[in-house]
Structure 1
Amino acid sequence: MTDPILHRRSVIAVILFTLITGGIYGVYWIYITTRDLNEFTGDYRIKPGWTLLFGLLTCGLYMFYWWYKINDLIMAAQIKAQRPFRSDNKLLFVVLRIFGLAIINMAIVQSDLNDIYTNLHLAQTPQNEIEDDDEWSDY
């Protein structure tokens, strides 16, 4: 059994670490999220290193495009994990980014990734490894 490429992260921790570090963790989160989604979906159109470079060179303007395109990777990951996607959040992500609320986008994306991870983890766990809390059924 292999571990899924995507990693479960606390939505609250992602928000708090981003706020505490003045956005530095947010930059790291963008990199690892892009990398993990690329590896999971097999779609390498958005490269994590180039995302950070273009974001820096364009003073953040490239990140509007990134928020728009990352939703495609999330929806592809949800389809691959056989999870129904909630909605196409492209426009929401761009509008929130315009108003400086990209941290809400991060919470939405991480929540979706956690849902995918949970589904993959449950699908990969063999039935005999799932513990039965009812001790009386063994007698």
Structure 2
Amino acid sequence: MFCTKCGKQVPDSTKFCPYCGANCSPEQDIAGQASQVFNKAEQELGSAFNEVKQSFTGNNNQNNNQGYNANQNYSNGYNNGTIPPYSGTRLKDDRGLASYIILSIITCGIYGYYFIYKMAHDVNIACDGDGENTSGLVAFVLLSLITCGIYAWFWYYNLGNRLAANGPRYGLSIQENGTTVLLWQIFGAFICGIGPFVAMHILIKNSNKICNAYNRAHGLM
């Protein structure tokens, strides 16, 4: 195995690295990984709380990039003319599954709907001009109720395909498409019920990629 601190190879049974003295025991490794997971979840929750607060207070606290010309030619490795024009706000690109699950539980599902509303909003901005439109929260809720949840699968499927299709506009290669998301939604539910969470993780990860690329394209990092 390798020391997590200095990176040098040490025997598997070593408890302390002979080079730097770091604790190399399996227990320490597990504790370190658990700490990273908790720290990431804490950061996601903080970011999610800030997003909700800004939505209600009207303080976007966005980098408006003073002096930015919306008609400028896009550079930084992006294809000229393919990136949507600047919308006036920086898109959120650090959404996470942990905050989605925790806050949905705390709010009895209300945050989950807010999450979908905001993600659809940002995706529509970042993918503007592709001829598609990701329906918002009202359509998602009403049509899901009318169709006994079938429309929700259709919504996830379309969003997955849209993100994959828009990847090349930003120089990204997104492997998971709507079919992958739909399969996890339907058949993954039989795997201890984790399928829908995997599907949401895919959508969150790929929407973060697209929104991050949009922000970078407009100098909003």
Shared fold by TM > 0.5? yes
Letter in 1 for 2:148: C
Change (3 A) 1:105 1:23: farther
| 2:94 alignment partner AA | R
Partner of 1:35: 121
- Which of the numbers 180, 183, 186 marks the counterpart of 1:95? 183
CA distance in 1, matches of 2:132, 2:119: 12
- Rounded to whole Å, the distance in 1 between the matches of 2:89 and 2:120 is 15
Q: Which residue of 1 aligns with 2:155?
A: 66
8 Å CA contact retained: 2:91, 2:215: no
Quote the RMSD (CA, aligned, Å): 2.7
Question: Which stretches in structure 1 are left out of the alignment for 5+ residues?
Answer: 131-139
Task: Indicate how the Cα distance of structure 1 residues 46 and 118 shifts in structure 2: closer, same or farther if over 3 A, else same.
Answer: closer
C-alpha displacement of 1:65? 0.9
Match of 1:137 in 2: none
User: 1:39, CA displacement in angstroms?
Assistant: 2.6
- How far did residue 4 of structure 1 move? 5.8
Q: Report the residue type matching 1:8 in the other structure.
A: D
1:76 is the counterpart of 2:165: yes
What is the DSSP-based 3-state SS (H/G/I as helix, E as strand, rest coil) of the residue aligned with 2:215? helix
Counterpart code for 1:67: Y
Name the CA distance, whole Å, in 2 between partners of 1:62 and 1:75: 20
Flag the 1:46–1:60 CA change in 2: closer, same or farther, 3 A.
Answer: same
Greater helix percent: which structure?
1
TM-score by length of 2: 0.48
- Aligned-partner SS, 2:174: coil
Distance 1:20 1:79, change over 3 A: farther
Relative distance call for 1:79 and 1:6 in structure 2 (3 A) is farther
In 2, Cα distance between equivalents of 1:118 and 1:40: 9
5 Å matches for 1:13-32?
Answer: 13-32=99-118
Q: Shift in Å at residue 54 of structure 1?
A: 0.3
Q: CA offsets per residue over residues 70-111 of structure 1, 9 Å max, x none?
A: 1122123322222111232x2332232221532322222111
* Residue 104 (structure 1) aligns with: 198
Q: Closer, same or farther in 2 for the Cα pair 1:95/1:23, shift >3 Å?
A: farther
Task: Please say if residues 5 and 40 of structure 1, whose CA atoms lie closer than 8 Å, have aligned partners that are also in contact.
Answer: no
Amino acid at match of 1:96: W
Change (3 A) 1:80 1:102: same
Percent identity between the aligned chains?
A: 23
Contact kept, 8 Å, 2:181 with 2:202, in 1: the verdict is no
Question: Which structure is richer in relative contact order (CA contacts within 8 A, separation 6 or more)?
Answer: 1
Code of the aligned partner of 1:58: T
Compute the displacement of 1:122 (Å): 3.4
Does the 8 Å CA contact 1:4/1:120 hold for their aligned counterparts?
Answer: no
- Residue type of the partner of 2:161? D
